């Protein structure tokens, strides 16, 4: 981290700030006491107050915030003010974590780059990411989530991006926002926050976003899925007037579209498109976003269980059908949460798509009954039992639901019991 003096921290009027280092300088800020050492500041978030003594024993200074949100923002703002890094904010209804992972990997071989870990994208995660800035960092890739209006504006005030990427606009958090138009408005806050001379990378076919793109002082770069040719991990991408071919460590077309968005940001960072392959082979997506496990008999199970909304569910089912290539298709699906009054309609649309694609569905939880499931399980444990009875060697299997359903461990469970087939 860029060093911050103890005197600067004291001037922020934080909560209980204790244990100044001998040299009066903080060189790291974190919220996990297991990763803290001399020169670090341990910030006791939520129940982290229980580990203050542990952090002090490890030689760290400690902060117990009186106002967690304000004080994290203040800490990150101090670090950000000392950096000349170019900051990218990635927002969107789906694909923002993967786009962040892809862009970070593309940039890293060319310039010192830091990107957000996992899905650290809220009022806690974004400040902690900003606090990882080093003196030599030249690119910082942040991910910003929201559940209502004003939240992305608040996060941009901390990170101060000069490039904004809107990965996708679609139905999410409708219980709070009410409409896709409001979802677009919330994500467009990242565009509004850009300074003059900034760049916004946006979907070419997001009509709801267009009213918020009327800025003469910002470059608008539109990425179009039609500019991607992608087969079995090999892609050809049109980025503006240039073409680039990449070998990528995934097979999903929707991840290739996320790659196209990342490539536009890569170019906006003045990095060489011809060098994109240098980082492409090192892309590692965050957990539970389409990881594939082999099953006996030439089958496989796709773990895409981190989250789900209608657009990401549709993309996952289309990928399953494309990837199956003659295999029997099974999907273990939980509900898509926070869709408000339209939830039943969206679930029925997914049911119709599953039927059209000849996918047998194991539904998990009562809302998943709307999928017209072959089997209905009340819990993840029951879903595993249902999968034992339904899944056979050679099948193509998808696991997907909103995070609240907790299906992320099911793919491993299927791989474990499938191993018994080869032993019998």
For residue 119, what pLDDT is reported? Answer: 86
Per-residue pLDDT band for 419 (boundaries 50, 70, 90) equals confident
Any residues with CB less than 8 A from the CB of 145 and at least 6 apart, and which?
91, 96, 119, 121, 122, 151
Q: Considering Cα of 245, then 249, then 251, then 252, what sign does the dihedral take?
A: negative
Tell me the per-residue pLDDT of 254-308, one tens digit each, with 9 for 90 and over: 999 999 999 999 999 999 999 999 999 999 999 999 999 999 999 999 999 999 9
Residue 423 pLDDT: 60
- Whether pLDDT at 422 is above 80: no
Average pLDDT rounded to a whole number, residues 340-346: 94
Three-state SS for 239-293 is: ECCEEEEEECCCCCHHHHHHHHHHHHHHHHCCCCHHHCHHHHCCCCCCCCCCEEE
Q: What pTM was estimated for this model as a whole?
A: 0.94
The tokens of 305 are what? 């269980």
CA distances from 163 to 39, 190, 192 (A): 32, 9, 11
Q: Which CATH superfamily is domain 291-423 in?
A: Mur ligase, C-terminal domain (3.90.190.20)
User: What is the SS3 assignment for 171?
Assistant: coil
pLDDT at 4 over 90: yes
Mean pLDDT of 174-195: 96
Question: What's the confidence (pLDDT) of residue 251?
Answer: 93
Residue 183, C-beta contacts closer than 8 angstroms, at least 6 positions apart:
93, 169, 170, 171, 172, 173, 174, 177, 208
CATH number of 4-65: 3.40.1390.10
In this predicted model, what pLDDT tens digit does every residue of 116-137 receive, in sequence order?
A: 998 889 999 999 999 999 999 9
The answer to whether the CB of 232 falls within 8 A of the CB of 225 is no
Identify the pLDDT of residue 213: 96
* CA-closest candidate to residue 311, choices 353, 340, 365, 374: 353
Burial class (CB in 10 A: 0-12, 13-18, 19+), 113: buried
What pLDDT is recorded for position 229?
98
- Calculate the CA 299 to chain-centre distance: 27
pLDDT at 349 exceeding the cut of 80: yes
| 164: Cα separation from own chain's centroid | 15
Stretch 140-163: mean pLDDT: 97
Say how many C-beta atoms besides its own lie within 10 A of residue 24's C-beta: 12
Per-residue confidence (pLDDT) for residue 151, from 0 to 100: 97
What is the rounded distance in angstroms from the CA atom of residue 341 to the CA atom of residue 86? 41
* Per-residue pLDDT reduced to its tens digit, 89-110: 999 999 999 999 999 999 999 9
- Chain centroid to Cα 100, Å, comes to 7
Q: 172: which residues sit within 8 A by CB, 6+ positions away?
A: 93, 94, 183, 309, 338
- The Cα 253–Cα 383 span in angstroms is 27
193-228: pLDDT as tens digits: 999 999 999 999 899 999 999 999 999 999 999 999
Q: Give the pLDDT band (50/70/90) at residue 424.
A: low
| Domain ranges for the chain | 4-65, 83-280, 291-423
Smallest Cα–Cα separation from 323: which of 297, 352, 355, 290?
Answer: 290
Using CA atoms, how far apart are residues 136 and 147, in angstroms rounded to an integer? 33
Q: Which CATH architecture has domain 83-280?
A: 3-Layer(aba) Sandwich (3.40)
Q: What DSSP element (H or E) covers 186?
A: helix 180-187
The reported pLDDT for the residue numbered 203 is 98
Residues in the chain, overall count: 424
Mean pLDDT of all residues in the chain? 96
Question: Each residue of 16-60: pLDDT tens digit?
Answer: 999 999 999 999 999 999 999 999 999 999 999 999 999 999 999
Q: Is 58 exposed, middle or buried (0-12, 13-18, 19+ CB in 10 A)?
A: middle
**231 exposed, middle or buried (CB, 10 Å; 0-12, 13-18, 19+)?**
exposed
């Amino acid at each position: 981290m860029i060093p911050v003096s103890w005197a600067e921290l004291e001037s922020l009027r934080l909560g209980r700030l204790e244990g100044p280092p001998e040299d009066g300088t903080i060189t790291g800020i974190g919220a996990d006491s297991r990763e803290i050492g001399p020169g670090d500041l341990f910030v006791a978030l939520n129940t982290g107050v229980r580990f203050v003594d542990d952090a002090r024993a490890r030689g760290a200074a400690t902060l117990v915030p009186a106002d967690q949100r304000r004080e994290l923002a203040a800490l990150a703002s101090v670090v950000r003010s000392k950096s000349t890094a170019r900051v990218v904010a990635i927002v969107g209804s789906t694909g923002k974590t993967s786009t962040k992972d892809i862009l970070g990997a593309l940039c890293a071989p060319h310039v010192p780059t830091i990107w957000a870990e996992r899905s650290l994208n809220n009022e806690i995660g974004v400040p902690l990411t900003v606090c990882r800035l080093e003196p030599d960092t030249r690119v910082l890739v942040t991910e910003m989530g929201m559940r209502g209006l004003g939240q992305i504006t608040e996060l941009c005030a901390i990170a101060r991006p000069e490039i904004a990427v809107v990965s996708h606009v679609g139905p999410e958090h409708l219980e709070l926002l009410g409409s896709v138009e409001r979802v677009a408005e919330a994500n467009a806050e990242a565009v509004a926050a850009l300074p003059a001379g900034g760049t916004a990378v946006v979907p070419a076919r997001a009509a709801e976003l267009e009213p918020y793109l009327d800025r003469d002082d910002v470059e608008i770069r539109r990425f179009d899925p039609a500019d991607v040719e992608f087969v079995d991990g090999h892609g050809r991408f049109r980025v503006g007037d240039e073409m680039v071919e990449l070998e990528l460590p995934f097979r999903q077309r929707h991840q290739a579209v996320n790659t196209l968005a990342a490539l536009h940001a890569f170019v906006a960072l003045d990095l060489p498109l011809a060098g994109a392959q240098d980082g492409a082979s090192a892309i590692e997506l965050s957990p539970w976003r389409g990881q594939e496990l082999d099953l006996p008999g030439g089958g496989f199970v796709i773990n895409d269980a981190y989250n789900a909304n209608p657009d990401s569910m549709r993309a996952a089912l289309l990928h399953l059908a494309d990837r199956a290539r003659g295999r029997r298709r099974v999907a273990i699906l939980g509900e898509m949460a926070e869709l408000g009054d339209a939830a039943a309609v969206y679930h029925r649309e997914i049911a119709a798509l599953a039927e059209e694609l000849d996918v047998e569905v194991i539904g998990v939880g009562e809302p998943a009954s709307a999928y017209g499931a072959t089997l209905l399980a009340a819990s993840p444990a029951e879903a595993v039992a249902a999968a034992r009875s339904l899944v056979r060697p050679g099948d193509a299997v998808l696991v997907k639901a909103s995070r609240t359903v907790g299906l992320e461990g099911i793919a491993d469970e299927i791989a474990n019991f499938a191993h018994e087939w080869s032993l019998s």
